[in-house]
């Protein structure tokens, strides 16, 4: 009994065994409580995410569900240390560790909240303002850089590092860093130029140096296109702006040039009637505008016509429908008039060689007898 009493009265690091048991109980209680809360929050968030409607409470639940296990463990350990009489150095160390961990967890929460809010705004902007949707990625990058820069500065300050001399040194070393990452910086400034100037936005159909695709995402360093064949094309922003970009989404109408040739046995009267007939065919479409139609050229084996008209729509499928129907009607008209389309034929003229005539000297019978 005396031994047990002595054991209970013995102090370890300045605390009795009962105080240590209390600290362990606090640690386990806080740890399990925080884990339980995180699990309930994650379950509720998953339940709300399964519904098509966006609830106002979804964002706070998402932020809380991103609580790290390391933060929970250190928070429980710090809460347990408050029930102990620890040396000042250990107490200060525990407070510093908890503070730094809290800063990093707050940075994770803030990043999650900002990115989730921007993602919601991007989904809404895709239906109303696609230009705003393209700038959200840049805003997200700037927000993340700002948040984590503050976290790093607060961490260094709590570690006892003087921030002002460090910032001065970074200002001098920033020149060398800028030279080392000039390609990355050029893409960054190019992305800012895309954001401000808006030469294209998400959803636009582009053609860049013969590469065609639809803009899927405008990032800090690159822009992603989806080609008609389905593959994703990633282009650096600096290269993209230095190239000639054709934005088909900004197209308001299409200028179509239709050329064909007829055989050279076509009469002059039929040749003169073809441009006017083509004009009537084109003007029959309500969303087209006739420009001109001419007997444009006399080729080696054909009489060539050139017709130009405007489709008052940027829809490529509509343009192809009109072109297909127009060409079918043109073929029907030429068949009714007895006019044939010219074929690209090369004629080869072959001449027989002139026979070489040789004179045969006939010998007289008297000569033969003489011989």
Q: Are 63 and 112 in contact (CB under 8 A)?
A: yes
In the chain (371 residues long), the average pLDDT of successive 10-residue segments reads 53 70 89 92 86 79 88 90 81 88 91 83 63 65 84 83 65 52 68 77 84 85 87 86 83 90 91 93 92 92 93 88 94 92 70 56 48 41
> Pairing relation of β-strands 205-208 and 211-218?
antiparallel
Integer Cα distance of 140 and 120 in angstroms:
12
Dihedral sign from CA coordinates of 316, 321, 322, 324: positive
Q: Are 137 and 205 in contact (CB under 8 A)?
A: no
Integer Cα distance of 8 and 18 in angstroms:
7
Find the radius of gyration of the CA atoms of the chain: 42
Encoding tokens for residue 195?
């954001």
Dihedral Cα 43, 49, 51, 52, nearest 10 deg? 180
At 128 the pLDDT is 57
| CATH number of this structure's domain 254-337 | 3.30.70.100
Integer Cα distance of 111 and 144 in angstroms:
6
Instruction: Tell me yes or no: is domain 188-250 CATH 2.30.30.60.
Output: yes
At 345 the pLDDT is 62
At 296 the pLDDT is 92
Q: What angle separates helix 130-158 from helix 163-180, to the nearest 10 degrees?
A: 130
Integer Cα distance of 209 and 119 in angstroms:
31
Domains of the chain, by residue range, sit at 8-161, 188-250, 254-337
Encoding tokens for residue 52?
């098509």
At 5 the pLDDT is 54
Encoding tokens for residue 249?
């989404």
């Amino acid at each position: 009994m005396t031994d047990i009493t002595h054991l209970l009265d013995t102090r370890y690091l300045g605390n009795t065994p009962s105080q240590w048991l209390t600290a362990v109980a606090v640690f386990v209680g806080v740890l399990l409580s925080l884990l339980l809360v995180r699990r309930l929050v994650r379950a509720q968030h998953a339940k709300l995410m399964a519904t098509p409607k966006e609830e106002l409470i979804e964002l706070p639940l998402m932020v809380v569900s991103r609580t790290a296990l390391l933060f929970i463990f250190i928070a429980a350990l710090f809460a347990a240390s408050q029930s102990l009489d620890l040396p000042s150095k250990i107490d200060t160390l525990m407070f510093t560790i908890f503070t730094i961990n809290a800063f990093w967890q707050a940075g994770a929460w803030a990043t999650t909240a900002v990115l989730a809010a921007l993602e919601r705004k991007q989904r809404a902007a895709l239906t109303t303002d696609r230009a705003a949707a393209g700038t959200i990625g840049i805003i997200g990058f700037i927000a993340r850089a700002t948040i984590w820069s503050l976290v790093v500065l607060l961490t260094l300050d709590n570690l006892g590092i003087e921030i002002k001399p460090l910032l001065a040194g970074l200002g001098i070393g920033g020149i060398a860093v800028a030279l080392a990452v000039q390609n990355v910086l050029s893409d960054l400034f190019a992305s800012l130029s895309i954001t401000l100037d808006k030469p294209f936005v998400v959803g636009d159909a582009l053609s860049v140096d013969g590469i065609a695709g639809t803009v899927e995402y405008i990032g800090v360093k690159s822009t992603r296109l989806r080609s008609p064949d389905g593959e994703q094309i990633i282009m650096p922003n600096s290269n993209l702006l230095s190239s000639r970009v054709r934005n088909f989404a900004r197209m308001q109408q299409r200028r179509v040039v239709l050329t064909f040739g007829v055989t050279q046995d076509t009469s002059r009267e039929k040749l003169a009637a073809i441009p006017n007939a083509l004009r009537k065919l084109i003007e029959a479409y309500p969303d087209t505008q006739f420009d001109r139609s001419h007997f444009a050229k006399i080729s080696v084996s054909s009489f060539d016509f050139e017709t130009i008209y405007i489709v008052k729509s940027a829809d490529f499928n509509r343009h192809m429908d009109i072109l297909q129907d127009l060409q079918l009607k043109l073929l029907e008209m030429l068949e009714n008039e007895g006019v044939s389309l010219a074929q690209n034929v090369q004629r080869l003229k072959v001449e027989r060689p002139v026979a070489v005539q040789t004179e045969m000297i006939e010998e007289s019978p008297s000569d033969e007898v003489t011989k």
